[in-house]
Structure formats: C-alpha cells, structure tokens
Structure 1
C-alpha cells in the first residue's frame, strides 16, 4: 500500500529570491515536490515593476491570483488590470505578460500545471534583474522551463 503524504511549506521556510525595488520570488513548490502536478510561487513586485515579458507555455496552464495591489496583464490581444482578489487562468500557447500597475506594487500567487521544475528559472531571473547575467542566458533554457519568449530579445 502506498502511503500518501501532503507537501507542506511553512511560509518562513520558502526560498526567497530577491528582486530590485523590494520585490521577490518565494519558491513554494516545484514539480518534483508534487509528483509533477503543479509548481507554485509567490511574486512580490515594487510599484510599476515588470513581472514577466511576453511569453507562453507550450505544456502548462498558468493561474495567477492577486493577493494585493494591482497587476496589468497582456493576454494575447487583450489588456486587463486586476486588483486584490482577481484571478487569471492562462491556457497553453496564449502569449501573456504582466507587471505591477503604475504607482502601485503587487503581490501574487502563480501556479503552473502540470508542473515544471522551474526553481532554477526563478533564480536565474533574479540574477538577470540584478544585472549579474544577460537576459539572453535564458534563451537556451526555454524548452527546459516551458517558458517560450515571443520576442527573443526579451524586451530588454
């Protein structure tokens, strides 16, 4: 008989990847933690800061839940601003981007399902945001992390 066990992450134990302007990724669950079911992270952005350049996921659906503040989303051809309590579900292959709305910060929960091991991706993004690596260093990793950039220059 298989013994089932929940995956639990106390808030204070999540790895934190610092971003400029007081932002951070909190790495909550990677695919390897959930038998591939999902990956989850919390993202805090400073006022008006970009969260992600235009990209899509070929294999996964992504859910965003706004915990606080306001987020501007690009969802294909649509532009939407969501505030606390707002939810977006992005299907595979839909190009999307997001960032904190001008003049406000944002705090969001992001869940990718099925999961992809992406902790390395978030760590690399942190180094890029701090100017320690070029954006182009992510380009060879697009398939591995299921993050496919629409503009290969990453808008950087």
Structure 2
C-alpha cells in the first residue's frame, strides 16, 4: 500500500491528511471509506453521527478511543465499531502518527472532510462554520477531545 502523501487527490485539514478511497457516490450511498493519516496526539472532539455507523481500521500506529461507556486502545490491525447515535472520539498516541481507514454506513460523511479542507477552518475560531457543516452531515459535537 502506498503512503498517503499530499497531492491532488489528498485533502489536508488541521494536520491530518484524508483521501476518499470509496465515495458514497460509488456505492449508491451505502457506504464510504476514507484513508486518513493523523499526527501524534491529534483527534476530534467528542461527537456523534446521527445517521451512520462508523468503523475505524488502524493500519499503522495506535489510537486511544472512547465509544459510549467503553474505551480502549486500537493498534495496527485492529478495528473499532461505533454504532450510530453513540458519543465517541479518539486520540492518536504520542508515538504516532496513525494511518487508519474510516468507514461509514451509509456513506456521505466524506463531504465534511472536503468542507473542512476547502475552508481550512480552525478550532475554536471557526466553530460556527464547522458546526454548520457538521449539521449538514448529521454530526453533532458533544464534548471536548481526549486529553483536553
């Protein structure tokens, strides 16, 4: 598998690289897959996908995760399933980065990553724009990131 590097097919937002490998448009909306490389100690605020199940499959590195009342560490070769409507987040370990696949069923959430990369929004300065895109993609923020 090739390394994910910046280029025309790769999106970058807040130090994380994203490449949509299977868009919802290719699956009749059934699912989407995004290849992601996140830097050490990075991760999103606690959030919830209201309409989609999410699965992370860790290719390299490791991440600590929280899903509802469960938590753990996922290392290369391991997956974490997050049922829709469940608060969750992750944080890449200090010895990162972590490369992982983000799979959502149904698909469509890749549009959020596209919005963030296009706008280069900053947290917390641009939370109004981030929250607006999140709402359009059926996501709500429910708490701080791990380690905050």
TM range (shorter): 0.7 to 0.9
Deviation at 1:20, TM superposition (A): 4.6
- Matched residue, 2:114: 123
Q: 4+ residue runs of structure 1 moved beyond 6 angstroms?
A: 11-14
| TM alignment of 1:78-89, pairs within 5 A | 78-89=70-81
Structure (1 or 2) with the larger CA radius of gyration = 1
List runs of 5+ in structure 1 lacking aligned partners.
Answer: 1-10
Please give the alpha-carbon distance, in whole angstroms, between the structure 2 residues aligned to 1:35 and 1:14. Answer: 24
Structure 2 residue 12 is matched with structure 1 residue 18: yes
The normalised TM-score by structure 1 is 0.77
Deviation at 1:70, TM superposition (A): 0.3
Deviations 1:93-142 (A, max 9, x none): 110011211232100001100112x343113333125x7x7132121233
- Matched residue, 1:60: 52
Please give the alpha-carbon distance, in whole angstroms, between the structure 1 residues aligned to 2:8 and 2:27. Answer: 15
Query: Aligned-pair RMSD on alpha carbons?
Result: 2.5
Say if 2:58 and 2:99, in contact at 8 Å, map to a contact too. yes
Between Structure 1 and Structure 2, the one with more helix by share is 1
The normalised TM-score by structure 2 is 0.80
List runs of 5+ in structure 2 lacking aligned partners.
Answer: none
